[in-house]
Every structure is written in structure tokens, then in C-alpha cells.
Copies of this chain bind each other. A is one copy, B any other.
Amino acid sequence: MAQRSVSEKASSQTLKAVLGIRELVFSGEVSPGERLSEVNLSARLGLSRTPVRAGLARLEQEGILELIPSGGYTVRSFTEADIVDAIELRGVLEGTAARLAAERGISPSRLASMKAILAEIDKVVSGPDDAFDFPRYAEMNAEFHDLLKVLSGSDIISREIDRVMRLPFAGPSAFLNAQPDIPAFRTSLVVGQAQHRAIAHAIEMREGARAEAVAREHSRLARQNLDFVMDDHKLMAQVPGLMLVSG
């Protein structure tokens, strides 16, 4: 993880609570709809109720927990439609970031950074098929999307992109874990990289509409992968957070 986004409260205990509960949720140790008891979590995480409580409130804000009217929280369950919408939302926001970057212009040094990242991804993608370095690809892909966010030049926009990315199945690297097994996915990486280049070129040429359109379309690769993965339960288990899906 390149940076820890806007505010990931430094306070040790509360941070442990947030991370711990997130882990419990996304690893599937607690099921969607299940009620999360503060005392239970306190015991499991070895913390007192106070930081656990703070963590719960925060994760509710993040959207992975739901408030029970009578009090307490449950794990939110997502439908496949929710995930489609979350991916669409990411596309819209990244598209906006790309457009703003194009319209407002970016500094030469940042343009250079972007080209450097693209070159790195090229190295990975153009390598031999049998020695494909997936972790490296995931890393550089995340860096590209991180930079795109920054290039928007807007804290307000960056913040919202961070928020959507916190829904793990909406992020640009969500389906990478499931990809090594499937040949068709390899193709999508090549296509994805072509789109990266198009976005970068559009920003450089200050073609805002094109930058937005391509960035938006780029996110739909994820939707395509989602459809693929949803047909296979074994694959679903490899995508973080996809266990929260239940019609």
C-alpha cells in the first residue's frame, strides 16, 4: 500500500480495532447479516470496548457495516448490483480525475512519473507468459491509479476516490488475485495497459473528454472480470470482500 490515505487514525488501539474488524469482515470470519457484539470483538481483538466502538462507528461510515435501528451493527451484505455500481462509481470518479488533470494541466515532473509507471507496467506485461510477475503488476497498477487520483489536483475528489477504493471489490486490483489461473484475464491486462496509455496521452494532450471517457471505460474491465468470477465460487473466494455478496 503506497500511502494510508486521508486519515487512518494513528491512535494505536483504535487503529488495531479498525484493521482487526475489517480483517474479520473481509476474511469472512463474520458473515453478512451477523450482529457484531462489542464485548465479543473486544475479547477477540484483545482491546477494550472503547476503541472497538470507535472502529465500528468508523467502518459503518465506510459502508461495510450497517447500523441496527435498535442499536449495534451488522455486517452489510452486498448484491452483485451493488458491486457493479461501485465499479461504475469508481469509473466515474477516476474519469473526473482524469478530465480535471487534462483540463487544468499537470506538471512536467508528474507527467514524467506517470510515464515511468507506464514503462514499468510495460516491462511486466511484455515479459514471457510463464514468468508473469503478478505482484509486481498489482503494485504498479495500484501506483498508476494512485497517481491518477493525485493528478486531479483536488483534495475533494481524491478523498471520494479513496472512499470508493476502500470497498475492496471496487478497487482496480480487486480481481488480480483470481487472474493468474485464467488465460482470458491475461488479455485484459494488455487491454488495460493500452487504456492506461490512452488516459496518459489524453491528459498530456489536454483532451479532457477523451481522458474521462477512457478512464471510465477502463473501470469496466473490472465489471467484465466480475461477471467472469461470479460464475465460479472457487474464484470468488480469491477476491477480497466478495464473500459479502449475497442476493
Which residues in A have some Cβ–Cβ distance to B below 8 Å?
7, 9-11, 54, 57-58, 60-61, 63, 67, 69, 71, 81-82, 85-86, 88-89, 92-93, 96, 100, 154-157, 159-160, 163-164
Give the number of copies in the complex: 2
Interface centre among A57, A61, A156 (most CB of B within 10 A): A156
Residue in B54, B71, B154, B156 whose beta carbon sits within 8 Å of that of A57 in the complex = B54
A157 and B89 contact, Cβ closer than 8 Å, known pairs A9-B67, A58-B57: yes
Nearest-Cβ distance from residue A113 to partner chain B, whole angstroms: 22
A92: nearest chain-B partner, CB-CB: B96
Inter-chain CA distance A204–B82, complex, in Å, is 24
Nearest-Cβ distance from residue A48 to partner chain B, whole angstroms: 13
Q: Contact: A156 with B82, CB < 8 Å?
A: yes
A10 and B69 contact, Cβ closer than 8 Å, known pairs A58-B57, A96-B92: yes
Q: Contact: B155 with A82, CB < 8 Å?
A: yes
Nearest-Cβ distance from residue A103 to partner chain B, whole angstroms: 10
A85-B154, A89-B160, A160-B160 are known; give 14 further A-B pairs, CB within 8 A: A9-B67, A10-B69, A54-B57, A57-B58, A58-B61, A61-B61, A82-B155, A85-B155, A85-B157, A89-B96, A92-B92, A92-B96, A160-B163, A163-B163
Across-interface contacts of A100 in B (CB, < 8 A): 88
Q: Can you name 7 A-B residue pairings with CB atoms under 8 Å?
A: A54-B54, A54-B57, A57-B58, A63-B159, A85-B154, A92-B96, A160-B163
Across-interface contacts of A96 in B (CB, < 8 A): 88-89, 92
Across-interface contacts of A61 in B (CB, < 8 A): 58, 61
